[in-house]
Amino acid sequence: MDSFWEAPESRRIEFKETFPEGEAVTRSVIAFANGAGGRLVFGIKDFPRRVTGIPDHQEKYLPVFHASMKHLIL
């Protein structure tokens, strides 16, 4: 495989086409933290796999998400 985003979804990697709003993003991150860890990738459609990017109206959430989770991002 050329890159991780071509791997199938599993308990260690999950793709989200859009950035979840409200508490949904928190639930997703907590689920990964409580499990085996892994990668939660936003802006990638799962099937068929393709990069979609984050919609413009959702980009405002990214700095807040990054700031609140930066100590968890490795």
Check residue 1 and give its pLDDT.
44
Give the start-end residues of each E strand in 2-74.
Answer: 13-16, 39-42, 44-45, 50-51
Residue 3 three-state SS? coil
Looking at the chain, the number of H-run helices and the number of E-run strands are 2, 4
Task: Report residue 49 as tokens.
Answer: 């796999």
Check residue 73 and give its pLDDT.
52
Domain boundaries, the chain: 22-74
Sign, CA torsion 19/24/26/32: negative
pLDDT of the chain, 74 residues: tens digit per residue: 457 777 888 888 888 888 777 777 777 777 877 888 788 888 888 888 888 888 777 777 777 767 766 665 55
Check residue 19 and give its pLDDT.
77
Check residue 70 and give its pLDDT.
63
Check residue 69 and give its pLDDT.
66
